[in-house]
Amino acid sequence: MKVLLIGSGGREHALAMSLVKSARLTKLFIAPGNPGTAALGENVVLNVTDHAAAINFCRLMGIELVVVGPEQPLVEGLVDALEAAGIPAFGPTKGAAQLEGSKAFTKELCRRYGIPTAEFGRFSEREAALKYVRTRGAPIVVKADGLASGKGVIIASTLAQAEEAIESMFSGAFGSAGAEVVIEELLEGEEVSFFALSDGSRALPFASAQDHKRVGDGDTGPNTGGMGAYSPAPVFTGDLQARVMREIVTPTIDAMAAEDMPFKGVLYAGLMICSDGPKLIEYNARFGDPETQVMLPRLESDLLSLIEQCARGNLERDAVALSDLTALTVVMAAEGYPGAPKKGTEIRGIEEAERMPHVIVTHAGTRRDGTRLVADGGRVLNVTALAPTLAEAQRRAYAAVDAIDWPEGFCRRDIGWRAITKT
């Protein structure tokens, strides 16, 4: 089978690594890919915002399945266009991707179908929003409705902060993403990411993970796209998973089907494990980055076959098999990240790290410059290790990080600390 994978991050390198393990794969194209994916398939330049160009490429190359990594092309309706042209694709249609693309859509769906989530109000008028927070008081959470690269969420611990957040969103601080604002109750508990696969009518549990969003050790400093992760999340027991499937994931898949927007692909639930049970914080309509880098090394089933079953609408009941091993990923970032990262610095020693047992290195923001590998983005490398315990996975991952010679790069030294301290 000829497959086109869309994206260029560590997530897509990890997806490519799993896809090439399938005996059924005959050729993998990655658009645009990165130096890591170039070793596994053919990187191609393709403007996927131009749906006609994407369809032409697929026809020309005989692509039989398209796998979409990032959210933007999903929200822009790439899957709708491919499917209308008869090309199977993994990922939700534009309508179903609203689960990620619009917080208000998801909150309304939860309200209509009784899916547990934080209490909320939605506002397109500044005055009404201000009145709501003044009635509710702080702490309270203020969110821009649309996609804002994870930056459109403000946890206000005082009323003044909440008012300021509302003012800045209605003044266009997040562009059109902030034209509507969702205000919700602050949930307290432990946060877990849970991933489920769906073919539009059936949902299967995939895996759990926890990530570290802050740039600094001890979970301090500004938010990032994710500085590291581990899977499984120790807090996410089998009972909890069954409850989340029963109360949150399955009702969502059923609701989307009932609303005539069946959700196909991977549903990524951001959950808060509260004292009165699990609650939905938000959905994403795609695999996580760096969560994919810790989940896929644990997958024992054939990823291509799973993805194909989702795309074709015939997901088998016991299709997902995961190993009991724990995986932990450390993200190596370029100096300056999450602000403007320093580019063009040379990275050496990846081969040494990869030779260490149970270690996988994936590329994100890297570039080839002749024979040199250089940094070309904020999050640059992901170093993943597998082990029987989280503490051992952490030890192996940092040993591999230390084999990489990149003076201008940095990473957190404490990925996994909360979970390791508890056990």
Which spans of this chain sit near ligand AMP (rule: CB under 6 A)? 118, 141, 150, 153, 155, 184, 186-187, 191, 270, 281-282
Q: Give the N- to C-terminal CA distance of the chain in Å, as an integer.
A: 44
Query: Which amino acid belongs to residue 217?
Result: D
User: CA-CA distances (angstroms) from residue 1 to 14, 39, 84, 303?
Assistant: 19, 18, 20, 13
Q: What does 73 interact with, of ligand AMP, ligand GLY, none (CB < 5 to 8 A by kind)?
A: none
Among 8, 284, 366, 394, contact with ligand GLY (rule: CB under 6 A): 284
189-248 binders of ligand GLY (CB under 6 A): 211, 226
Minimum CB distance to ligand GLY, residue 387 (Å): 22
User: Would you tell me how many other CB atoms lie within 10 Å of the CB of residue 119?
Assistant: 11
Say whether residue 289 binds ligand GLY (CB under 6 A): yes
Both structure tokens of 194: 């849970």
> How many residues in the shown chain lie near ligand GLY by CB under 6 A?
6
Shortest Å, Cβ 231 to ligand GLY:
12
Amino acid at 79: V
**Which of the stretches 101-109, 199-207, 241-249, 282-290 binds ligand GLY when contact is defined by CB under 6 A?**
282-290
The sign of the CA dihedral 211, 232, 197, 108 is negative
Site membership for ligand GLY, residue 288 (CB under 6 A)? yes
Out of ligand GLY, ligand AMP, none, which partner does residue 186 contact, by CB within 5 to 8 A per kind? ligand AMP
289 interacts with, out of ligand GLY, ligand AMP, none, CB within 5 to 8 A per kind: ligand GLY
**Per CB under 6 A, does 291 bind ligand GLY?**
yes
CA dihedral 109, 115, 116, 117 (to 10 degrees): -20
Could you tell me which of 182, 166, 205, 208 has the C-alpha nearest to residue 117?
182
Backbone angles phi, psi at 27, to 5 degrees: -155, 135
Sites for ligand GLY among residues 172-191 (CB under 6 A): none
Minimum separation from the CB atom of position 180 to ligand AMP (A): 14
Question: What are the residue ranges of helices labelled H in 185-326?
Answer: 238-244, 250-258, 291-295, 303-312
Q: Which is nearer to ligand GLY, 85 or 235 (CB)?
A: 235
Cis omega (within 30 of 0) for bond into 297: no
Nearer to ligand GLY, 226 or 265 (CB): 226
Could you count the other beta carbons within 10 Å of the beta carbon of residue 339? 9
| Contact status: 7 vs ligand GLY (CB under 6 A) | no
Minimum distance from residue 282 beta carbon to ligand GLY (Å): 9
Neighbouring CB atoms inside 10 A of 388's CB total 12
How many CA atoms does the CB half-sphere of 232 hold within 13 Å? 16
The least distance separating ligand AMP from the CB of residue 172, rounded to whole angstroms, comes to 19
Decide which of ligand AMP, ligand GLY, none touches 141; Cβ closer than 5 to 8 Å per partner kind: ligand AMP
CB 295 within 8 A of CB 228: no
Site of interaction with ligand GLY (CB under 6 A): 211, 226, 284, 288-289, 291
